[in-house]
Amino acid sequence: MPIDLRCRHDREVRELAADMFESGRGYRSAAKALGVPAEAVRNWLKTYRAIGRDGLLAMGGQRARYDYETKVAAASAVVDGGMPKPEAMERFGIASATPLKRWCRLYREGGAEALRPKPRGRPRGSGAKAAPKTREEELEERVRKLEAQVAYLKKSIALKAELRSRTGRRP
């Protein structure tokens, strides 16, 4: 049975933590009560404040995707506007601080254009377009293939003959 290593604490533990956050407890006391590292509960509290209880309970599933406008708005608010990251996470509905940190770094280095989505994979038509072969080129290619075939067969015959001579018997 495969184990999901992205989410180390199950939904029930996060649900108990959300109940504690709603009752006004801080992350340290919640961490002690749950027996979970304080840093993990601190991150849960940030997520809880940013996107609410549902977002905290949905953690560990599919990663959230953010559009270009959200990335630029959040990064510019933090970098240019001086907004604290937890407040930006809350305002723009960003579940984790990690992507926001990356967006801020990219925004500082290359501006808004650095946050544009990049095409993934090999570009279409990246291979060199071969010009149609002439009759002479086709024949040369055919000759090379046949020569390789003959060389393979000769090697096979030689190996069989060597095997026969080693064993001293005929097939």
- Kindly report the CA angle at 91 between 79 and 45, in degrees rounded to 5? 100
| pLDDT score, position 144 | 97
Q: How far is CA 94 from CA 32, 47, 66, in A?
A: 27, 8, 8
Q: What band does 149 get if pLDDT is binned at 50, 70 and 90? A: very high
pLDDT tens figures, 40-89 = 888 888 888 877 777 777 766 667 788 999 999 999 999 999 888 888 88
Domain boundaries of the chain, sorted by first residue: 1-62, 64-117, 137-171
Average confidence (pLDDT) over 122-127 = 73
Q: Which amino acid is at 144?
A: R
pLDDT of the residue at 77: 93
Q: Does the pTM exceed 0.75? A: no
